[in-house]
Structure 1
Amino acid sequence: MFEIIAAGGWLMLPILLCSLAVVGVSLERFWTLNPDKIAPKNLLGEVWNNIRAKQLDVESLKQLKQGSALGTILAAGISNSRHGRDVMKDSIEEAASSVVHDMERYLSVLGTIAAVTPLLGLLGTVFGMIEVFTAIMVQGTGNTGALAGGISQALITTAAGLCVAIPAMIAHRFFQRRVDSLVVTMEQEAVKLVDAIHGDRKVDVKVV
């Protein structure tokens, strides 16, 4: 394996670093974007129970805010619910904007790596072909070792770039889809809370 990496030339180093970044970011995002941690299923029901029982004090709101991303959004809305529906919705949107920003953290890294690593592989291909033609100019076509070395460098860097870019693209799409799904879930829960508090219409809030 080391011989293959060495044969790819110096461009294998940034490609290898990109591969480590893909693994690291993917593991971190998989752990962080756990749906049960971001938007617990029974959280809204628990919050609504506490609101109706008038047990939601400052300390409870603080714990709610620190407990999960959905809790942060609900806490922001509850804290400003007494100022009216519009102010409550604005507070929820501001909190949601910050939450979504945190959820999308590092996803741009995956997207960038997915776009850049094939170019690094292509650059390695160009350097390899330059080496081949230089060997032909200097030594003619009789030195097959020099020709094979350049062609090998071209193929190895291209393959390595694609081997990193493909998983990076898959991971980027996977986590972006998960973020979108979580955002929809949190939006639905927040709307239920707003309607339940202000009583504009009957809302089916799950009570646990």
Structure 2
Amino acid sequence: MALIVERAWTLRRTQVLPPGLGKEVRSWASGGKLDPAHIDSLRATSPLGALLAAALDVRHRPREQIRERIEDVGRHLVHGMERYLNTLGSIASAGPLLGLFGTVVGMIQLFLGILDHGIGDVNQLAGGIGKALVCTAAGMVVAIPALMAHRWFRGRIAGYIVEMEHEAMQLLDTLDTPVQPAADKVWPRTAALVD
């Protein structure tokens, strides 16, 4: 339960993909407002911010090198988002096996009791079988929620990865568009008036 609560808190959408962050960063990039302090503060905001900051760090390099940096940083971010998921998956896999182990041990104890005292007491037989089945049920009670949470978190992370890639590609497109100062935009009209 602690792992599920921790991952649910850490993988909140607003924590991983703050709303409007991609658009804000693209407006910085198109306006040329990319000083190192902006980029460092962006890196600290969220995984998406760290990914976009990594692209901005190498913005003056060729597009292919920027893509490689995004992919490299993205792998590290995914690893961080998948933290504890292997443990959760192991719990989901081991839960039924531990329950089965308890059932087998309970059945062995039951048959050893029958060997010592005979089959005369039906209540003892029923009680022993009940104890053995409780172990199986306990294993399932642990495994089913762990398996569901594991699959849900994996799907959520996969969705985040797709959205983060989309935001990074939009930023790359913005970086490819040359920044023109406002004076350059006015100049052709003024030249036409002079002619």
- What's the TM-score, normalizing by structure 1? 0.82
Partner of 1:80: 58
Identity %: 42
User: Could you report, residue by residue, the CA deviation over 1:43-94 in whole angstroms, capped at 9, with x for unpaired residues?
Assistant: 1111122123322211110000000100100000111010110111111111
* Cα distance in 2 for residues equivalent to 1:52 and 1:184: 23
- Aligned partners of 1:81 and 1:87 also within 8 Å: no
Instruction: Measure how far apart 1:109 and its partner are.
Output: 1.2
Partner of 2:143: 165
AA matched with 1:171: A
User: Could you report, residue by residue, the CA deviation over 1:93-140 in whole angstroms, capped at 9, with x for unpaired residues?
Assistant: 111011000001111111111110100110111111111111111110
* Cα distance in 1 for residues equivalent to 2:40 and 2:88: 33
- Provide structure 1 residue ranges, at least 5 long, that are not aligned to the other structure: 1-22, 201-208
Residue 77 of structure 1 aligns to a residue whose secondary structure is helix
| Structure possessing the higher radius of gyration over alpha carbons | 2
**Aligned pairs, number:** 178
AA matched with 2:35: D
AA matched with 1:158: T
Give the CA RMSD over aligned residues.
1.4
* Cα distance in 2 for residues equivalent to 1:149 and 1:35: 49
- Aligned partners of 1:110 and 1:168 also within 8 Å: yes
Q: Which of residues 156, 176, 197 is equivalent to 2:134?
A: 156
Structure 2 matches for 1:1-208, cutoff 5 A?
Answer: 23-199=1-177
Residue 67 of structure 1 aligns to a residue whose secondary structure is coil
* Cα distance in 2 for residues equivalent to 1:37 and 1:115: 29
* Cα distance in 2 for residues equivalent to 1:104 and 1:91: 20
* Cα distance in 2 for residues equivalent to 1:92 and 1:186: 10
